Structure formats: structure tokens, C-alpha cells
Chain A
Amino acid sequence: MRRRIGLATLGRVYLALVLMFLYIPILVMAVMSFNASQFYTLPIDWSLRWYEALSGNSKLLNAGFNSIVVAVVTTAIASTLGTAAAIAFFRYEFRGKQVLQLLLFPPIAIPWLITGTAMLLFFFWAGIGRGLHAMVLGHVALALPYVIIVVSARLKAFDPDLEAAARSLGASPAQVVRHVTFPFIAPGFIAAALFAFAVSFDQFVISYFLAVPGVSTLPVEIYTAIRKGFTPEINAISTIVIVFSMTLLVGVARYYRFGGER
């Protein structure tokens, strides 16, 4: 009996260690963003000076604004298109359905390097060009499979008879969606929307290739700054970004019960 308890406790300790591994670098970065000393010397000299410096760094701030704008537009488009497709997959059986579902995988399975360079190449050639609009095109493509997967997961728990019942009672297809389908999907829809936002906001590779000098998103700007040389303001904005995106993801988790519970 004793040995069994020992192994389980060891397991829990190990889990804690892994969690530490996952979070410590982020925590370090966050803590150091409040350290006035530019070179991490301990003890920590608590200060908000890098955050203040950040408020004057127009490059980073503009990039942040761009990131948000792109993410909002991406979310709106991807949520709508993706939810519609998910409903179609749920409701209907048709030839080619499996093929369509398979086609969702390339955007997420192919290394983003390849997708990103292909987009750069094609957009340039086709005259679409680079910039924020191109990024929206790319981000939506990346977010779509995830939206479809998340909403489909929610629909799995949806009794198909509910839509049939509504129809038998005289509801038109639009009324069915409005009164029955959408209220049920809502949590999944919110989870998918938050997810799409996170995917777009944190997206680096596609944004990197589709950025134009002077017009880029936050991750790209941070990357450039790192390559050029470290300024502690990156620390400050990075902390803000990671806190923001983690909050988003907690929101996703709240609306999407993983494993289908509920």
C-alpha cells in the first residue's frame, strides 16, 4: 500500500516539475519586466520604467494596434465561415464530405513556413500584395480549420432531432438556426471565436512573410527588435502579450469543455 502511494506522489511531483518547466521562462520574463536594471542583475529593482518607455515606443504600439485590428477582422470572418461549414457537416451527409473534411488538415499540418512563403509568392504575383489585408487573408485560412473543429465538437453533443423537431413544428431553416441551433452552439461559437482571435494575434510566421516595412504586427515587430538587439521594452510588451493571450485561452477553455463534458 505504501509503495503505491509513493508512486502516485512521485507522479504528481513530476507533473509539477513539468509545469514549472513550462511556465518558469515566462514568469522570469514577466518578473524581469518590472526590473529597472537593464541587465537582469539581481536583486530586483521594482519599477515600471520599461512600461513607461513602452508607451512612447510608437513602433511597438502601432504594431500592437495592427495586431488587434487584424485579429478582430480575422475572428469575424473565420467564425462566420467556419461555423457555417461546421453546421453543414453536422446536418448533411453528402458525397465529397470526407474529402472536404480532409482538406481542413493541410493548413494546420503543413509547416507554416511553406504556407507563408507560398502566400507571399502568390499574393505578390496575383497582385494582392502584402500588408494587413494580406495578413487577414492568411490568418483566416489558418483559423478556419480550428473554428470548424471547435464548433463541430460542440455540435457532436447536439441532438439532431432538435432541428427536425423545430422543422416539424413549422420553423423555416432560418428560424431553426435562430431559435434552436445557434443557442446551443453559442458556447462553442464563443470558444471558436476566442480561439481564432488568439491564433491571429499570436501568429508570427504568416505575418512575417506578409509584412511590409513599417506595417507589421506585434510578433513580427518583436522578432525584428530581438534580432537587432535587446531592449527591455520588448520584455514589457511581451509580458502584456502573453498575459493577454493566456487570458483569451482561459476564456476558450471555459466555453469549450474539453473531452465533451456537458
Chain B
Amino acid sequence: MTVAASTEAGGSAKARRGEARRIAVLTGPAYLWLAVTVFLPISAMLYFSLLSEAPIAGRVGQFTLENYQAFFDKAFYQSLMLRSLRLGAEVSFYCFLFGFPCALVLAKVVKGRWREAMFLLVIIPFWSNALVRIFSWTMVLRGNGILEQFLNAVIPGFGGLDLMFTYPAIVIGLVHSYLPYMILTCYISLQAIDDDLIEAARSLGASRWTILTRILLPLSMPGIVAGAVLIFVPVIGSFMEPRILGGRNGTFIGTVIEDQFTAVFNWPLGAALSFILLGCVLIIFAAFHPILRRAAR
């Protein structure tokens, strides 16, 4: 068999080059796509945020920091940011409060094929159409909606209950959307806790409460934090849920940014506000990075 390849001593350098080419062919297209559709746009947005006006339709913008300045000058934006952060924290908290026990039951109580089925049931709504789900809540929460009718049936003379266009409605809708996420991350963490650990604790005389607070919660902390961070971030940027469920009461930083792009057409301001939001997101990720890395393992 003739050897067409070079007979240079070794040959590993040539092989490495061939391998590098194959890697480039396999990963190139995907990452090129991401570069053009995600990384470049975000860079462009950074650029826009530093201009006085959007450089489209022949207009020329000038370098300025006034868009960022606007955030620090106007108390309105800052209070809105705080309101959004508060919303994020609340939703994350409720998701933890209601989701953790659920994950605990799934991980430790439900066994076998039931577990897989239950898990699926919990996860599927999360991945289905978010808009439709929020829309379904409008039917439940509105005046004369299902919730009101149900409560009236159970507690006679309950009266009217119109939760639409209130802050609680937004929280309910968001918790409903993101609860499965927290259940998922907590489940993964809890499942990794060896049952033997709990048995050992019980044999040493620990009460149920002690086991929960001293063993389960600390060991599942990576999962809890991962869930909280991954819920917090999208929530603070949400605008669809606040608008549909909150109406005029649903003004958050997300809705204001959206306005800049669809109604007010002040793209540089929208870009700047987006970056401030992105900054918050990165700070949160950086702060929780060590715990998140543990969760990823």
C-alpha cells in the first residue's frame, strides 16, 4: 500500500492540522450563526447606546453618554429598575417556596415509573407556549372568571374578584411560568443526595426538621441558587406578562425598553437601558458563579 502521506519524522503536526480543520468544519457554521445573530447584534446595540440618535435612514448619530446618563438622572428609571428587581426576587422566592417541596417529593417520595411520568408532567408546561399560558390566566383571574366563580361556589357570598391588571396577577403568571424551572434544578440537586445520608442521620436521631434544614437544604443549595438565578434573570426583563396581566399597572424596565423600540423609537435609549439591564444580569451571574458551577457538575 503506497503511502501518500508525508514521511516526515513524527507526523503529529500534520495530523493536528487535519484535525483542526475538521473541528472548524463541524463547529464553524453553528458559531458563525451565533456570531451574526447574537454577538454582533449585541455589539451593535452597545454602539447604538453611545449615540445620540440611531444611524438609520440617513441620520448620523454623535457619540454621547446621555442615554446612560438618563438612567442615573431620572429617578423614574431607577425606581422602575428596583421594581423589576423586586419582581424578580419575589417570583424567585415563591418559586422556591412552592417548588422546593415539590422537588423533594419527586426526588424522595415518588419512585419508579411514576417519577418519570410526574417529572414530565411538571416540565411540559414550562416548554409550551408561554403566551398561551399567560392568556389562559386571563380567563382565570378576570372579573367573573373561573377563579371568582370557583371561590363563590366554595364560599357562598364571596363576591367579586377581579385580579386582572394587578401586581399580584403578574406575580401569579410569572410564578406559573417559571415554577417548573425551579422544580427541575432542585430535583436534580436533591436526587444526587444519597439516600444513605438521610438514613444515617435518622439512625443518629435527627428529627425531620433537622434533616431538612441541616442536610437537604444545604446540599441542594447549588440547585436552589441555580434555579433562582435562572428565574430572576428572565423575569427582570419580562414585558409580555406584565403587559397582559398588569395593563397599566404592569410597567417595568422591560416594558419601558420595549416601548423604546416599538412605540417611541428612541433606539439609543432603549439600547442603553438594555445594557444597564444586561449589566445587572452579569453582576448577578458573576456573584453566583461559584455556586452555579457546582450546580452544573
B20→A94 contact, CB < 8 A: yes
Contact A138 B139 (CB under 8 A): no
Asked whether A14 lies within 8 Å of B101 as measured between CB atoms, the reply is yes
Of B31, B139, B149, B183, most buried by chain A (CB within 10 Å of CB) is B139
Known contacts A26-B133, A32-B139, A40-B144; decide if A205 and B37 are in contact (CB<8 Å). no
The segment from B63-71, B75-83, B214-222, B232-240 found at the interface with A is B232-240
Q: Are the CB atoms of A120 and B230 closer together than 8 Å? A: no
Bound-state Cα–Cα, A122 to B97, Å: 40
Residue pairs across A and B with CB atoms within 8 Å: the count is 256
The 0/1 profile, CB within 8 Å of A marked 1, for residues 19-35 of chain B is: 11011011101110110
Do the beta carbons of A117 and B31 come within 8 Å of each other?
Answer: no
Contact A29 B37 (CB under 8 A): no
The residue from B30, B44, B131 contacting A219, defined by CB atoms under 8 A apart: B131
Contact indicator A19/B29 (Cβ below 8 Å): no
Q: Is the CB of A118 within 8 A of B133?
A: no
1/0 per residue, CB under 8 A from A, across B199-232: the answer is 0000000001000000000000000000000100
Q: Which of A212-262 contact B (CB under 8 A)?
A: 219, 222-223, 226-227, 230, 234-235, 238, 241-242, 245-246, 249-250, 252-253, 258-259, 261
A55 to B27, CA, bound (A): 44
With both chains docked as a complex, state the minimum distance between the C-beta of B183 and any C-beta of chain A, in angstroms: 8
B226 to A: closest C-beta gap in Å: 11
Interface centre among B34, B39, B176 (most CB of A within 10 A): B34
A125 CB contacts on chain B under 8 angstroms = 44, 48, 54-56
> A22 at the A/B interface (Cβ < 8 Å)?
yes
Q: Are A242 and B105 in contact (CB under 8 A)?
A: no
List the B side residues contacting A26 at CB < 8 Å.
Answer: 125, 132-133, 136
Expressed in whole angstroms, the minimum distance between the Cβ of A199 and any Cβ of chain B is 8
Q: A81-B29, A144-B33 are in contact. Are A42 and B149 (CB under 8 A)?
A: yes
Contact B33–A92 (Cβ < 8 Å): no
Q: B45 contacts the other chain (Cβ, under 8 Å)?
A: yes
- Is B96 on the interface with A (CB-CB < 8 A)? no
Q: Which of B20, B41, B105, B128 contacts A118 (CB 8 A)?
A: B41
* Selected interface stretch from B5-13, B154-162, B274-282: B274-282
Q: In whole angstroms, how far apart are the Cα atoms of A122 and B208 in the complex?
A: 56
For the residues of A in contact with B, the DSSP-based class is: helix
Residues of chain A within 8 A of B27, CB atoms compared: 84-85, 88-89, 100
B193 proximity list for chain A (CB < 8 A)? none
User: A136-171 toward B: CB 8 Å interface, digit per residue (1/0)?
Assistant: 011011001000100000000000000000000000
B23 touches A88 (CB 8 A): yes
Separation in Å of the A153 CB from the closest CB of chain B?
13
Q: Distance in Å from the Cβ of A57 to the closest Cβ of chain B?
A: 16
A241, B110: Cβ atoms under 8 Å? no
Residues from chain B with Cβ under 8 Å of A15 in the complex: 102, 105-106, 109-110, 118
Q: Given that A25-B137, A117-B270, A258-B116 are contacting pairs, would A124 and B56 also be in contact in the complex, using a CB cutoff of 8 Å?
A: yes
A103 to B35, CA, bound (A): 10
- A204→B105 contact, CB < 8 A: no
Do residues B41 and A115 form an inter-chain contact, with CB atoms below 8 A?
yes
Chain A residues positioned under 8 Å from B99 (CB to CB): 18
Assess whether A131 is interfacial by the CB under 8 Å rule. Answer: no
Do A113 and B258 form a contact, CB below 8 Å, given A18-B122, A118-B45, A250-B120? yes
Known pairs A15-B106, A245-B128; A253 contacts B120 (CB<8 A)? yes
Q: What CA separation (Å) do A202 and B211 show in the bound complex?
A: 41
Chain B residues, CB < 8 A from A94 = 19-20, 23
B102, A18: Cβ atoms under 8 Å?
Answer: yes
| A111 lies within 8 A of B281 (CB) | yes
Contact A111 B37 (CB under 8 A): no
Cβ of A109 < 8 Å from any Cβ of B?
yes
Is residue A190 contacting chain B, with contact meaning CB distance below 8 A?
no
Q: Is the CB of A226 within 8 A of B135?
A: yes
Instruction: Check: A209 CB closer than 8 A to any chain B CB.
Output: yes
How far, in angstroms, from A113 to B45 measured CA to CA in the complex?
12
CB of A8 within 8 Å of the partner chain: yes
Q: Which residues of B contact A19 (CB under 8 A)?
A: 118, 121-122
A184 at the interface (CB under 8 A from B): no
Q: List 9 A-B contacts (CB under 8 A).
A: A19-B121, A28-B146, A40-B139, A92-B22, A118-B45, A125-B55, A140-B33, A202-B128, A250-B120
The 9 A-B pairs at the shortest CB distance, nearest first, are namely: A111-B237, A122-B41, A88-B26, A118-B41, A29-B136, A11-B105, A25-B136, A141-B37, A202-B129
Known: A22-B176, A29-B135, A202-B130. 13 other contacts (CB 8 A): A22-B122, A26-B132, A29-B139, A92-B19, A107-B34, A110-B233, A111-B233, A118-B44, A125-B44, A137-B36, A204-B240, A219-B131, A223-B131
